[in-house]
Structure 1
């Protein structure tokens, strides 16, 4: 069952770029979170999306939000991707797709590719917006609009 707007995000555990354990409870319920799921490190659309979040990262921070990217890539892949494009935010490795399945992120292109979805979560851990689109850069705009109008 996919999470929807109004749902409280359950706690989850993952691994960050440095191989450290990431506990969602350290972030959820404390500040706004922009959690975005993307298909794969170092592909054209995902790179454009990550660089868009990077370029607007200060705007997100000023609006009180932390950006967190999630894909099924390994921590080594994430570390390389993060360094190559100077990404200032957290990337989580979801190799077993547990987080993707927890959120119910749909696949794109007739189920062939992992979906691209962004969740804006408030400081109580409640989902306030879900944006699903293959248009990578639109995710940044939609998330910023949501944070500005709250």
Structure 2
């Protein structure tokens, strides 16, 4: 068990690692296969501790507010937390989030990505991954909540050069 993320034995995936292919439930309770998202283009998978909390809301709304420009880059966006599908749906509707939210209630998606918990609680640490051509091409160990879209855009720009 870790405290404040220190001492965690979980190691997040790094650039170059094969992208995990978990299947979980989305905000509507439907099966969500990560392979299907990856097949549509570069995919941002962002983990957040809990739906509708201040930092997580700022992070998701940053991506929402830049959604059109990120979508123009052919970016797929997938949010993941340990919440239930019903909580994810409520969060999505409350903030008009135009992307899928995955309910990782059992923690298996976080485990596949090597995302640890926070203070030993059943919540995921805030981390983000860009997946391209079946591989992790970028990873942020601690996403900036209100500026997450800026961080993601910079990562996308670096992939072009």
Q: Deviations over 1:58-108 (max 9, x none)?
A: 111111111100000001101111110000000000000001011111334
Cα drift, residue 8 of structure 1: 1.2
Q: How does 1:39-58 map to 2 (within 5 A)?
A: 39-58=49-68
Q: In 1, are the aligned partners of 2:48 and 2:124 still within 8 Å (CA)? A: yes
Query: Is 1:140 the equivalent of 2:149?
Result: yes
Q: Any stretches of 5+ residues in structure 2 without a counterpart? A: 1-10
Query: Is 1:17 the equivalent of 2:61?
Result: no
Cα drift, residue 10 of structure 1: 2.5
Q: In 1, are the aligned partners of 2:144 and 2:151 still within 8 Å (CA)? A: no
Work out the number of aligned pairs and report it. Answer: 148
Structure 1 residues 134 and 8 mapped into 2: Cα distance closer, same or farther (>3 Å)?
closer
Please identify, of 110-119 and 60-69, the stretch whose mean Cα deviation from structure 2 is larger: 110-119
Aligned equivalents of 1:29 and 1:4: distance in 2? 20
Cα drift, residue 136 of structure 1: 1.3
Cα drift, residue 134 of structure 1: 5.9
Q: In 2, are the aligned partners of 1:37 and 1:118 still within 8 Å (CA)? A: yes
Cα drift, residue 114 of structure 1: 2.7
Q: In 1, are the aligned partners of 2:77 and 2:99 still within 8 Å (CA)? A: yes
Q: Secondary structure at the match of 1:45?
A: helix
Cα RMSD of the aligned pairs, angstroms, is 1.6
Query: Is 1:77 the equivalent of 2:51?
Result: no
Please identify, of 137-146 and 13-22, the stretch whose mean Cα deviation from structure 2 is larger: 137-146
Aligned equivalents of 1:135 and 1:37: distance in 2? 12
Q: Secondary structure at the match of 2:56?
A: helix
Please identify, of 110-119 and 84-93, the stretch whose mean Cα deviation from structure 2 is larger: 110-119
